[in-house]
Amino acid sequence: MRYISTRGGIEPLAFQDAVMMGLARDGGLLLPQTLPTVGNQVVQRWQQLHYQALAREVLSLFIDDIPETDLEDLIDRSYASFAHPQVTPITQQGDLYILELFHGPTLAFKDVALQLLGNLFEYVLARRGGFMNILGATSGDTGSAAIAGVRGKANINIFILHPHGRTSPVQALQMTTVLDPNVFNIAVRGTFDDAQGIVKAIFNDLDFRDQYQLGAINSINWARVLAQVVYYVFAYCKLSRLGMKSVDFSVPTGNFGDIFAGYIARRLLPPGCIHRLILATNANDILTRFVTSGDYSCSQVQATFSPSMDIQVASNFERYLYYFLNEDGAAVRRSMESFVASGRLDLTADRQRIGQDFSSRSVSEEETIATIRDFYSEHHYLLDPHTAVGVKAGLELRDPGRPVVCLATAHPAKFGEAVSLAIGNEPPLPPALAELQKRESRCVILDAQQDTIKEYVAANALH
Ligand SMILES: *Cc1c(COP(=O)(O)O)cnc(C)c1O
């Protein structure tokens, strides 16, 4: 399997090169040259498999430059860090199915992808030689999952900037209590936007970027999407084994990475297995407007109870656009250039086609809290605010008789404040979070100045 760019401007690459490149050099995103498909007989066989074995089957359809036994070892090590034997268990609550993606080391779904990505980076660097310095900014979740993914790995250092005093205390501790010598936490005296701006500026210094082999952690890496395809197939196989042949998935969406993995799973499985993907947004509803009207236009980011979805321009959207525009890289390039210039893409003429893949609803802050409350009183099951957005959209948009699987993207204890508004008290911290408070932590506090941060990175980077 070779990888191409959504903008058509690069020679096809092997999987390992695609993992190391991240963003394509022509500014596009990487995708497999052709999408694999499987038939009903394969699905029947897959129904018998546990998570790691299924991951091996799915991943090897997309990866042909890592020997089978190495891939098996990478997968086993990546998911050994999960606290549940099924990795991503599925539970029935009323007439909804909840796919719990939060059993990894940082209790959010990003672990599913970043545990594998950390191991893949280490694997490729060990074979090819070289090193990598990962640099990123986080408002909370992504940074801790990325650190958990690469802590202690050979030939990789990681530098994560977070806004000093502006993440939740638990989120900060999840990062700063990781004491491995390759992990560098930087609390920036400023906002998340300041931190993000500095990271972007440093990446734009191409000499610096090449000298230190800077790597990114954002959700544009193809391997992250690929790791996430597995749990859609896993959930489908479990339900189809119980006789459900056609299901919908409801996905709380920010950068469009998770739901795009669902789109790939939908194309992989026989037609109709995944009937539709329900794209759930909070007040930041650009993607809901796109699905319901074909209008993709930016507005201001609003802060909500589901901060990991407070995004306007979804970085993975371009991947869907590539298929939507019939795999025409030049058309994707034109569309994205015009979007950057005008802040708007008009696909209103094609909204019916979009509706075959997705349905969508935006969920308000009040509805989010009410959903946590109602779900708790009806089922005695606690939703985190991101999951609640997906559950609400799933309840509103489901078809009679067709099962809906709602993706649970974070453990409720990570967002105790919102939960407390809904049910009157914060959920008890699971042991993994409670014991963080007792641990030693390490972090430097620096001014929000590009030169200060650069100096610190240069002084501590592998080179
Ligand atoms: C990142 C995140 C999301 C959004 O996922 P995308 O792939 O960006 O669409 C939803 N919920 C939680 C808890 C997250 O951390």
Within-domain flag for 358: yes
Taking only the tens place, the pLDDT of each residue in 292-337 is: 999 999 888 888 999 889 887 888 999 999 999 999 999 999 999 9
Number of residues assigned to the chain: 463
CATH number at residue 287: 3.40.50.1100
Residue 67: is its pLDDT beyond 80? yes
The per-residue DSSP string of 370-437 comes to: HHHHHHHHHHS-PPPHHHHHHHHHHHHHPPTT--EEEEE-B-GGGGHHHHHHHHSSPPPPPHHHHGGG
* Mutation test residue for ligand 1: of 98, 168, 255, 315, the one with most atoms within 8 Å of CB: 255
Residue 168: its pLDDT value, please? 82
Please report which confidence band the pLDDT of residue 82 belongs to, taking 50, 70 and 90 as the band edges.
very high
Q: Is the CB of 252 under 6 A from ligand 1?
A: yes
pLDDT confidence tier of residue 206, bands split at 50, 70 and 90:
confident
Total of domains in the chain? 1
How many Å lie between the centroid of ligand 1 and the Cα of residue 259? Answer: 9
If you average pLDDT over residues 143-170, what whole number do you get?
94
pLDDT at residue 213 in the model: 93
Q: Is position 19 within any domain?
A: no
Q: Please, which pLDDT band fits residue 167 given cuts at 50, 70 and 90? A: confident
Q: State in Å: Cα 451 to ligand 1 middle.
A: 31
| Residue 60 placed within a domain | no
Mutate to test the pocket of ligand 1, among 309, 407, 414 (most ligand atoms within 8 A of CB): 309
pLDDT single digits (tens) 95-109: 999 999 999 999 999
Per the structure block, which two tokens stand in for 212?
């230190």
Say yes or no: CB of residue 257 within 6 Å of ligand 1.
yes
The percentage of the chain sitting over the pLDDT mark of 90, rounded to a whole number, equals 83
Q: CA–CA separation, 356 vs 391, rounded Å?
A: 21
Q: How far is the CA of 68 from the centre of ligand 1 (A)?
A: 30
Q: What is the CA(462)–ligand 1 centre distance, in A? A: 30
268 phi and psi angles, rounded to 5 deg: -70, -45
Catalytic one of 110, 238, 392, 414:
110
Domain annotation covers residue 138: no
Residue 206 CB-half CA count within 13 A: 1
> What pLDDT is attached to residue 106?
95
- Backbone phi and psi for residue 140, each to the nearest 5 degrees, phi listed first: 160, -80
110 is catalytic: yes
Report the relative pairing of strands 183-189 and 214-215 from DSSP bridges.
Answer: unpaired
**pLDDT of 242 above 90:** yes
Those residues with Cβ within 8 angstroms of residue 334's Cβ, 6 or more apart along the chain or in another chain: none
pLDDT at position 99 is 98
In a domain, 161, yes or no: no
Q: Does 371 fall in a domain?
A: yes
Q: Would you state the pLDDT for residue 290?
A: 94
Task: Note the pLDDT of residue 10.
Answer: 92
Q: Check residue 252 and give its pLDDT.
A: 98
User: Ligand 1 centroid to 190 CA: how many Å?
Assistant: 24
Q: Which whole number is the average pLDDT over 271-276?
A: 97
- Span 3-30, average pLDDT: 92
Nearest by Cα to 372 from 19, 90, 93: 93
Is the minimum distance from the CB of 253 to ligand 1 under 6 angstroms? yes
pLDDT, position 350: 87
Q: What is the pLDDT of the chain when averaged over all its residues?
A: 94
Spatial distance between the Cα atoms of 230 and 228, rounded to a whole number of angstroms: 5
Percent of the chain exceeding pLDDT 70 equals: 100
Asked if residue 314 is part of any domain, the answer here is yes
Q: What is the pLDDT of residues 348-383, one digit of tens each?
A: 988 899 999 999 999 999 999 999 999 999 999 999
What pLDDT sits at residue 315? 84
Nearest CA to ligand 1 atom 2: 308
| Segments forming the whole domain that contains residue 279 | 90-106+223-423
Q: Is the CB of 359 under 6 A from ligand 1?
A: no
Atom of ligand 1 nearest to the CA of 410: 13
210 in a structural domain:
no
Stretch 26-36: mean pLDDT, rounded?
A: 94
Is the CB–ligand 1 distance for residue 409 below 6 Å?
Answer: yes
